[in-house]
Structure 1
């Protein structure tokens, strides 16, 4: 699809192209009792000069959002910092960002990317958590066959003073069947298995889903296992399932919305379209109706 046409779809799911637009969207969500995790769009860079630029942009965003007392934290993709070019350079940049966030009493969530990145991203997370246990967390994807064993392995750095913090999502990257579960119900089943293990082992769980069934099952687990409210939150993407999101907030549960913004919105948007191809039909239909 042409880029201009993709933007018709994208503007619902992206706060904007500038920091000011991201800031405004975050403040509006805060006014509704919703916290945010702020994400500058971009990934899979090709030069280390881009990595340095992305580091500086994150430092600027952290400075501005914390100065404005936005209730939230920050998400980062390691490939934006050169993970696939030079892992140690990536680590150095990420450490600088996490250190700055820690100084601002904030928090950095390391996004999980496609399967080629998983081992490197877990390793970087381990190294950063050793130094900044309160200020760094990780995303895990339930559709990957390895995820349950990854959670179990990471339990060795969990402790009651600083519970390990995970965002658990289904997963969106296209992976081969030998690496990822493909069945809809199969992914749901493993999502709940992973979540239950987190609860059993007193890990902090970011329950990131728009699947009403998974939300309802998560709420059942929370009630049955008597999980305290300071050990979990629900998370959703900007612009997605606002009615379900509000019902969770109205139920007295913490909600965090992933707020993406920036010039590099196209790849993020096309992944959303691949996840839900029917959206393309709706876009075209909407254009004709307007015409």
Structure 2
């Protein structure tokens, strides 16, 4: 992010949450499970699948983490009750990773067990680099018992290619994204083109090795390159899907959907919406600039 965009995002962080919330609504379904179910039903009606996420992360006590797990169990029950085409995504630190990784494993294992009962699936999110090793540990341990779990990998981390070549990661189900957390240059690619290049290098390796891949990007260039790769390798539509965030580049979403390819939308909801929204603004400074203009030049922002 260039210095001007960084300054704009930092300014937005100083604004009252009510101001940020007004513009963040495009990225979140709402604060309740009812809101999440409503949005997923709308997406499903268009032939679009989903993954539901209860917002929250970096939990510091077990009681809070157990409560988050209970909320996810309710989400799985709701998906089954309403016959939604959706799975769930969970953040390891929300499940207690920073408290104790064995406790985190037990928490997610309970979710995987409930999901298995419903023939559903649990995606384990990848957070900042301080949690990467422990997240892979938890995933690999879960994978020994459950086939309905998958993991996220980030193309901007220089270690990712080595991680997916680990013997215990064979046949893993992946979501491949660029990555959004701010990491030091020593461990992460910073340039747009080098991140794109590594994304495509990882994607090709996974597709060549028979892994199911959620191609998670809003980058038209990467989507087009992925299509070229899929066509060249003559892959069936059951070998991959595309994934995007709720409220982002809906025209691209609809184009993928109209092609007959599976497109899964990440649908976040919950009371802990603020940190998630700030990360979306860091990813898309144009929206942060729009908020800034609404504060200083309200007459220039269309209603």
8 Å Cα contact 1:47-1:85 kept in structure 2: yes
Structure 1 CA distance, aligned partners of 2:209 and 2:269?
34
Deviation at 1:284, TM superposition (A): 3.4
- Note the alpha carbon deviations across 1:255-283, whole angstroms, 9 max, x for none: 00000000000000011112222322212
Residue in 1 that maps onto 2:4: none
Q: 1:235 corresponds to which residue? A: 243
- Say whether residues 1:50 and 2:58 are aligned partners: no
TM-score (norm 1): 0.95
Aligned-pair distance for 1:157? 4.4
SS of residue in 2 equivalent to 1:235:
strand
Contact 1:8–1:283 at 8 Å: present in 2 too?
A: no
1:36 counterpart = 2:50: yes
Where do 1:236-255 residues align within 5 Å? Answer: 236-255=244-263
Structure 1 residue 216 corresponds to structure 2 residue 230 = no
- 1:286 Cα deviation from its structure 2 partner: 4.3
Q: CA deviation at 1:40?
A: 0.3
Q: How does 1:59-98 map to 2 (within 5 A)?
A: 59-98=73-112
Aligned to 2:159: 146
Counting matched residue pairs gives: 285
Match of 1:203 in 2: 211
2-side partners of 1:210 and 1:18: how far apart? 26
2:60 is paired with a residue whose SS is coil
Question: CA offset at residue 10 of structure 1?
Answer: 0.9
Q: 1:89-238 counterparts in 2 under 5 A?
A: 89-133=103-147, 135-154=148-167, 156-158=168-170, 163-238=171-246
Q: Which residues of structure 2 form unaligned runs of 5+? A: 1-14
Looking at structure 1, the residues matched to 130 and 102 of structure 2 have their Cα atoms a distance apart, in angstroms, of 16
Deviation of residue 130 (structure 1)? 1.2
- Does 2:31 match 1:17? yes
Query: Offset at 1:86?
Result: 1.2
RMSD: 1.2
- Tell me how far apart the structure 2 counterparts of residues 9 and 183 of structure 1 sit (CA, whole Å): 28
Structure 1 distance, partners of 2:18, 2:292, is: 12
- Separation in structure 2 between the aligned mates of residue 157 and residue 2 of structure 1, nearest angstrom: 44
